[in-house]
Structure 1
């Protein structure tokens, strides 16, 4: 049964986001919506939900259809509400009074611990806040569910739980979700919509297989365009030859033939469409100044503790060597970020003693954390670049433009940038630091798939040495050549991340 029929839909805001979009949403559909940052995913969701008017085209919904839209951000009005109250408030007043049991059923299905249900929203982690927003929508029993970046801030256990929950939903409830998590899309979708300014493509396949199909379509379009333009060029050359012959011979027939060839060439050129070229949200480039040292960091049974002194784990004897791309694995709370902080301090302050950690003197650090805390919200991107690095205004503007920031954006406070724009600014800061070792804590947070793949390519191309933490399974699999696991208060090396991924999926 058709729930939603989208025909020739187009939306233009400051620029054309997409046009001539056609999509039919049926029972059983699990549609992954894929596009670069700022290319219209959330806008399309608002149009489907009925809170934004399209520029052109139409959206037809089945009679009486209710659409549940889970947005990315928590409304400020909910921060002082408890988890339970926030979900209860989503029900109509009469229903909330007589059917509050629906809240408990929803929370049970999402495996929300009892102690979290009475906590205020502002006291919850970003992951639990996102699950609260999902609960608020699901408790209303919508006919169609739409999720905007549902895995943001979720650890591997919660991502696995969300995958399980989505796959257990009644098959008659269509789900449309926008995500940059490639492994998540593969786990929960059966159709993929690649949203584009023109020629959006839909495939009845999960993301990875759909991406292969998309690349084949784009390659065929590119070959067709090149062939058509070559044919048009040949027609013009033939027309030019006939024109010369016609002028010399005075043949009216050749003049007519010349005009016909030109018209055929013009029609072919007008009809020919170049293959789609994705407008980048901003380039990501890294650097590697290199070092002659083979061993970059030595860990000699270093201890990692909580602020109150509780031992989390010991590292044992470990070495970080040139060319290592080490992924640090471990459940939340085991001390991954604390180890990164210890390493950062040891590298930044080599003159100070750091028990159990020794960095080579030639090490130059590139550090990026998941909260992008090194970017001051009140500063502008322009101020951030010119204050930290010896570059003139013109060079700074050029660098920022290359990272996807317009002149207007360069002068805005960083707090007003989107997550994707902040992430690309953070990557530019890393590049300008020109490091020879990277410490990266959740580097793919806020990056679209294009950005994730570019970051992977840059790390590999520059043979960058790094230690990183990430919940992005696709990124970990692509980047890592060594894997350290924190378990039973020890740091051990493992051959692959797959066993950890499987175990993490069982932890709720």
Structure 2
């Protein structure tokens, strides 16, 4: 049974986000929505929910359909409510008085621990807030779930919990979700919509196979485009010859024929243009520097501790050599970010506290953490680049534009940028730093799939040396060539991340 019909749907802001979109969502559908940052995913979900009016086209909803929409941020009105109170508030009016048991059912379905249920939402981590908002949606007994980046801020254990929840939904409930996590899309969806300004494409396949199919279509279209351009160029050359003959002979017939050939060339070129005209959200490029050191960082059984001195784990005697891309694995709270901080301190401010961590003296550090703390919120992108690097005004503006920071945003505070723009700015800072060693904590946070794949390609092409922390399974598999696991208060090397991923999924 069809729940949603989109007919010639389009939204245009300063330029089209999407247009002429025809789509049907049926009962039981699991549809993944894929597009670059800022390219209309959230807007499309709001159109389906009825919160935004499209510029063109219509949205037809099945009679009586109940839609639950989980957006990326917690509504301010819920910040001070406990999880239980927020879910209770979401209950439909006819159930609020007599069916409060539904609250516990929704919370149990998402395995939200009892102690967290009585805490205010603002006191929870971002991952638990996401699951609480999903519980608020699920308690309404929807026929269609609209999820905007539902996996944001989730560690692997909670991500596995979310995947299990979605895959265990009743067969008649439809889900449309937007995500940049390729492994998550493959695990939870069976159809994929690639949202584009023009000629969006839908495939009855999960993301990985759909992406391969789309690449084939785009490649064929590119070849056809080149053939049609050659034909148009031939028509223009014929028109030029006829024009010269016509001018010399004074023939009106040849003048008309020249005009017709040019018009044919114009029509052919216009029709041949790639229909989607994909726009990049900004280029990610890295630039490392050479080093003669064979070992860049070494650990002499260093203690990794909490701020109050409690031991989390010991590193043993391990080294990171030239070209090693070491991925640090471990559950949330195991101490991954603490180790990253320890290495950073050993490079920037070596002293007694970091004596067990050795960094080669020539090491140049490129660091980015999940909070993007290297970027000062009140500073402007233009001011940051000019202050930290020896580039002039015009060069700074060109670099920022290439990274996806439009000219009108380069002079605004970094705090006003979107998450994707800030992530690309952080990557630009890394490029201009030209590090010999990368220390990256959740570098794919806020990056769209295009950005993730570009970062992966750059790290591998540069032969980068790095210590990485990431919950992005696709990124870990693509980039890592060594894997260290925190277990039983020790840091041990493992052959692959797959056993850890499987254990987290089974937790």
TM (normalized to structure 2)? 0.95
1:83 is aligned to 2:83: yes
Shift of residue 397 of structure 1?
Answer: 2.1
Shift of residue 228 of structure 1?
Answer: 1.6
Q: Deviations over 1:346-395 (max 9, x none)?
A: 01123556232111100111111101122222222223223333333333
Distance 1:253 1:38, change over 3 A: closer
1:121 is aligned to 2:130: no
Structure 1 distance, partners of 2:240, 2:379, is 60
SS in 1 for 2:354: coil
Residue of structure 2 equivalent to 1:18: 18
Residue of structure 2 equivalent to 1:328: 328
Shift of residue 268 of structure 1?
Answer: 2.4
Residue of structure 2 equivalent to 1:58: 58
Residue of structure 2 equivalent to 1:461: 461
Shift of residue 133 of structure 1?
Answer: 0.7
Residue of structure 1 equivalent to 2:46: 46
Structure 2 distance, partners of 1:415, 1:402, is 20
Q: Deviations over 1:394-430 (max 9, x none)?
A: 3322222222112221222222211111111111222
Q: What is the correspondence of 1:329-348 to structure 2 with a 5 Å cutoff? A: 329-348=329-348
SS in 2 for 1:394: helix
TM (normalized to structure 1)? 0.95
Residue of structure 2 equivalent to 1:487: 487
Residue of structure 2 equivalent to 1:366: 366
Residue of structure 2 equivalent to 1:382: 382
Residue of structure 1 equivalent to 2:308: 308
Q: What is the correspondence of 1:391-410 to structure 2 with a 5 Å cutoff? A: 391-410=391-410
Q: Deviations over 1:6-47 (max 9, x none)?
A: 011110112221111111111121111000000011111111
1:140 is aligned to 2:140: yes
Q: Deviations over 1:56-85 (max 9, x none)?
A: 111111112121110000112211111111
Structure 1 distance, partners of 2:17, 2:92, is 35
Shift of residue 261 of structure 1?
Answer: 4.6
Shift of residue 94 of structure 1?
Answer: 4.7
Q: Deviations over 1:453-508 (max 9, x none)?
A: 1111111111111000000000000000101111111111111111110001112x
Q: What is the correspondence of 1:101-116 to structure 2 with a 5 Å cutoff? A: 101-116=101-116
Distance 1:157 1:5, change over 3 A: same
SS in 2 for 1:193: strand
Q: Using the TM superposition, name which of 300-309 and 324-333 deviates more.
A: 300-309
8 Å CA contact retained: 1:369, 1:443: yes
8 Å CA contact retained: 1:3, 1:26: yes
Distance 1:95 1:384, change over 3 A: same
Structure 2 distance, partners of 1:435, 1:402, is 20
Structure 2 distance, partners of 1:504, 1:433, is 35
Structure 2: tracts of 5 or more residues without a match: none
Aligned-pair RMSD on alpha carbons? 1.9
SS in 2 for 1:471: coil
Aligned length: 507
Q: What is the correspondence of 1:236-385 to structure 2 with a 5 Å cutoff? A: 236-241=236-241, 261-274=261-274, 276-350=276-350, 354-385=354-385
Structure 2 distance, partners of 1:469, 1:193, is 30
Distance 1:102 1:224, change over 3 A: same
Distance 1:206 1:251, change over 3 A: same
Q: What is the correspondence of 1:487-506 to structure 2 with a 5 Å cutoff? A: 487-506=487-506
